[in-house]
């Protein structure tokens, strides 16, 4: 039996190992939160070292997408772009 927090994807209870399926599933549950956190960092100026952010939309910025993939692996590039765009629109 496995119970995960519906908002964070964090494991609450598990009666089986930490196999690859569990890690992948938890990654998928965390993507919206990680994208929201990254969007907040962008708005707070934590990513200002990339001057091209002023000209290039953040959801298409390679470094931001790599960072989101590092935080939450296993998604497609389109999924990362969509999640980051959603996060940015929520954090305005």
> Where in the chain are the domains?
2-90
Among 11-15, 34-38, 72-76, 88-92, where is mean pLDDT lowest?
11-15
pLDDT top residue among 87 and 29: 87
- Report the pLDDT value the prediction gives residue 48, as an integer from 0 to 100: 85
- Report the pLDDT value the prediction gives residue 89, as an integer from 0 to 100: 86
Q: What is the DSSP string of 36-76?
A: HHHHHHHHTTTTTT-GGGGTS-GGG-HHHHHHHHHHS-S--
- Report the pLDDT value the prediction gives residue 66, as an integer from 0 to 100: 92
Token pair in block for residue 26:
């938890």
The answer on pLDDT for 37 being more than 90 is yes
Q: In the predicted model, what is the mean pLDDT of residues 63-86?
A: 89
- Report the pLDDT value the prediction gives residue 50, as an integer from 0 to 100: 79
pLDDT top residue among 13 and 91: 91
């Amino acid at each position: 039996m496995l119970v995960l927090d519906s908002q964070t994807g964090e494991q609450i209870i598990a009666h089986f190992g930490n196999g690859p399926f569990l890690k992948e599933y938890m990654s998928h549950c965390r993507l919206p939160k990680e994208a929201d956190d990254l969007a907040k960092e962008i708005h707070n100026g934590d990513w200002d070292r990339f001057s091209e952010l002023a000209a290039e939309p953040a959801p298409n910025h390679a470094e931001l997408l790599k960072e989101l993939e590092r935080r939450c692996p296993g998604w497609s590039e389109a999924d990362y772009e969509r999640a980051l765009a959603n996060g940015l629109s929520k954090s305005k």
